[in-house]
């Protein structure tokens, strides 16, 4: 690809015989914001640290603009990085922190001063130059850390869970700010997080990782709506799983808690009597208040969670329990606990997943 920037090829990392990154292949485009998403221990931070140069790959190559950077130490890679714990130098004020990379790179003093000013303006902290890290809030410190990483004009930016140590409210505003700055500078960015909402909201593409390997690599829309593996589907968003039994493969009919439903996406290899799992997102299901879709099932409300704009219901269908989201309607109150309801969803909303 012409604008390919970072190319990771067969990357493997083992610690004392324990392989934590298993032959990972990834390609980032120039200016792209890519998130490595996965649970603790999936290898996402290890991949980022190998790109930074803090960990040496057991095997495989990391190419930046076609050049193998694996043999280079971190201080020669021209990569900027923001850490979870801010990592501002406590003995230096904001100006000196932001200007640290420029000083090390022997940038002339006037030029460095101008660059520091430019960076502080970019993060909205002009006039904070003389403050020390301990005099600033966590959100401000992390913005300074971002300015410090960007000041030496790195080729690439690495963000290692930069929002994890912050309060929920600051997290949302700062992630939007980070994304806006990244767009403005057009810098290729690798972002590591275990927070799916964070990943879905700011990424151009997401790499879903599990146990050291890539489960899926795609846009947030693809990852959420067309997960290719069960792990990707269950890790990103909420997923309902319904136990069903095939009745007649020819008519694609199945039985869910004794209720018959036609599933258009039922595999042709299915045989009568097979136990199968049907999966679908909460927002794909609605209450059949006079507008039935392909499939309508009877159930009993077992939980009602009023979340403001959205109401999340749990509906039991015999052994099965389904979560469904409906928008709050001030003219019609939500069903009550233990109320009998009809739920409905489209046949095409059912996800067919590989394991």
Q: Which residues pair with 267 in a beta bridge?
A: none
The nearer residue to other proteins, 141 or 188, going by C-beta atoms, is 141
The nearer residue to other proteins, 149 or 261, going by C-beta atoms, is 149
Note whether 165 binds other proteins by CB under 8 A.
yes
Note whether 79 binds other proteins by CB under 8 A.
yes
The two tokens of residue 218 are: 């795609």
Note whether 270 binds other proteins by CB under 8 A.
no
Query: What's the rounded Cα separation, in Å, for the pair 162 and 157?
Result: 12
Note whether 177 binds other proteins by CB under 8 A.
no
DSSP-based helix, strand, coil % in the chain, nearest 5: 25, 35, 35
The nearer residue to other proteins, 176 or 303, going by C-beta atoms, is 176
Q: Which residues pair with 6 in a beta bridge?
A: 28, 64
Among 39, 85, 255, 328, binds other proteins (CB under 8 A): 85
The stretch among 14-22, 83-91, 264-272, 299-307 that binds other proteins (CB under 8 A) is: 83-91
- The least distance separating other proteins from the CB of residue 48, rounded to whole angstroms, comes to 11
Give the DSSP H or E segment for 54: none
Cα-based distances in Å from 182 to 117, 129, 186, 188, 204: 18, 22, 6, 8, 11
The two tokens of residue 180 are: 């806006």
Q: Per-residue x/- mask for other proteins, residues 24 to 53, rule CB under 8 A?
A: ----------------------------xx
* Cβ contact 288:246 at 8 Å: no
Q: Quick one: how far is CA 210 from the chain centroid?
A: 13
Note whether 120 binds other proteins by CB under 8 A.
no
The stretch among 16-24, 99-107, 236-244, 301-309 that binds other proteins (CB under 8 A) is: 99-107
The nearer residue to other proteins, 42 or 149, going by C-beta atoms, is 149
The stretch among 17-25, 98-106, 212-220, 300-308 that binds other proteins (CB under 8 A) is: 98-106
Note whether 134 binds other proteins by CB under 8 A.
yes
Query: What's the rounded Cα separation, in Å, for the pair 270 and 232?
Result: 24
* Cβ contact 170:176 at 8 Å: no
Q: Which residues pair with 340 in a beta bridge?
A: 300
Number of residues that bind other proteins (CB under 8 A): 39
Query: What's the rounded Cα separation, in Å, for the pair 305 and 55?
Result: 45
Chain contacts with other proteins (rule: CB under 8 A): 52-54, 73-77, 79-81, 83, 85-91, 100-101, 104-105, 132-134, 136-139, 141, 145, 148-149, 152, 165-167, 170
């Amino acid at each position: 690809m012409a604008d390919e920037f970072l190319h990771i090829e067969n990357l493997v990392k083992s610690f004392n015989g324990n392989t934590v990154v298993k032959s990972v292949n990834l390609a980032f485009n120039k200016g792209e914001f890519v998130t490595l998403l996965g649970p603790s221990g999936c290898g996402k931070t290890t991949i980022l640290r190998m790109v930074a140069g803090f960990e040496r790959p057991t095997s495989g190559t990391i190419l930046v603009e076609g050049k193998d950077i694996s043999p280079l130490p971190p201080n020669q890679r021209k990569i900027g990085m923001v850490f979870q714990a801010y990592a501002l130098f406590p003995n230096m004020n904001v100006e000196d922190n932001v200007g640290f990379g420029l000083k090390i790179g022997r940038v002339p003093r006037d030029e460095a001063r101008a660059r520091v000013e430019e960076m502080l303006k970019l993060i909205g902290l002009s006039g904070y130059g003389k403050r020390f890290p301990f005099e600033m809030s966590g959100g401000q410190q992390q913005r300074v850390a971002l300015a410090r990483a960007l000041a030496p004009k790195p080729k690439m930016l690495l963000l290692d869970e930069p929002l994890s140590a912050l309060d929920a409210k600051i997290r949302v505003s700062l992630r939007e700010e980070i994304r806006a700055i990244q767009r403005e500078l057009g810098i290729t960015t690798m972002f590591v997080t275990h927070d799916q909402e964070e990943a879905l909201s700011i990424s151009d593409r997401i790499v879903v990782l599990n146990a050291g390997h890539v489960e899926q690599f795609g846009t947030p829309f693809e990852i959420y709506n067309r997960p290719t593996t069960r792990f990707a589907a269950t890790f990103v968003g909420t997923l309902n799983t319904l136990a069903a039994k095939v009745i007649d493969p020819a008519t694609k009919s199945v039985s869910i808690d004794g209720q018959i439903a036609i599933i258009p996406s039922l595999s042709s290899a299915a045989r009568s009597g097979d136990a199968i799992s049907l999966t679908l997102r909460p927002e794909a299901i609605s209450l059949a208040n006079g507008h039935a879709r392909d499939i309508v099932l009877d159930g009993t409300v077992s939980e009602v969670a009023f979340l403001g704009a959205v109401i999340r219901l749990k509906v039991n269908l015999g052994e099965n329990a389904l979560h469904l989201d409906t928008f709050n309607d001030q003219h019609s109150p939500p069903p009550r606990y233990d109320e009998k309801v009809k739920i409905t969803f489209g046949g095409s909303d059912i996800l067919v997943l590989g394991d």
